[in-house]
Structure 1
Amino acid sequence: MTAETQIQTVEKLIAPLLVDDIFLVSIKIKPTNNFKIYLDADSGLGIEKCIKINRALYKVMEEMGLYPDGDFSLEVSSPGVDEPLKLLRQYKKNIGRNVEVTTNDDEKKEGILKEVTDETIIIEYTEGKGKKAVTVNPVISFNDIKQTKVLIKF
């Protein structure tokens, strides 16, 4: 079974376990059949939900006998704050937060995520200082975005 086939199988198996507002962000697989599954939820994803889904998915995979010797492992978590946003739903969930957008030409823009559509985002930041300060709201196409990270300020 190729890694791609394995990931597709796990995607099908996990789908019924994603209740409420929980959604799949990505699945990665390491050579030792170690599945790293990243989930998120519109209202935030607690560790308890990750553990519950991990146990349920493990049981289903074991019962199906995908890995006869139990030769697989699962890690179910939400993407860390250092993980870039991947899905439109993640962008929408983070409206109002500080983000750093890196465009395809490696230009970085930092600002508050104001609006998200199917094709674009709008961020807001201030250019200039003092009396010359101007608030700008550039519209950035998803096609022009290399990555977007949420910035956590302390």
Structure 2
Amino acid sequence: MDSIDRKIVAALQEDGRIKLVDLSEKVGLSPTPCARRVAILEKSGVIAGYTARIDQAKLGLPVSIFIAVELERQSRDALDAFEDAVRKFDEVMECFLMTGSRDILLRVVARDLTDFDSFLEHRLMRVPGIRTMRSSFTLRTMIQRQALPIAR
């Protein structure tokens, strides 16, 4: 990626709906070469897709919970089975394989504590291979960035 590609990515992180003419102007290219570069960035996977940023509280999911999970075994099969199971849970927004004392860190959203309790009892606790779980509720989001830092 050169400096123009980085400008394109930065501009698209800022506004994924920017018109091609405005994008090309912003990065200093004419529209056709700019469109070609965007297509290359999409094809190479640098641009993985386009989405709308949604306010989870306004959608009725104001509660965020981080759940640290320790598995009974740390084998590839155990990790794959866990990942396959939690991939089916829409409440799981992110799932990270971690270093340290906990194997997995999940970020889960819920309407309220009753909703979260139901998720735990009827879904997550039924996933085989979990040794322990520890939940932490967020009080408020202090920093949330959508755009990755791009060296210019």
Give the TM-score normalised by the residue count of structure 2: 0.33
- Higher normalized helix content (fraction of residues): 2
Q: TM-score normalized by structure 1?
A: 0.33
Larger relative contact order (CA 8 Å, sep ≥ 6)? 2
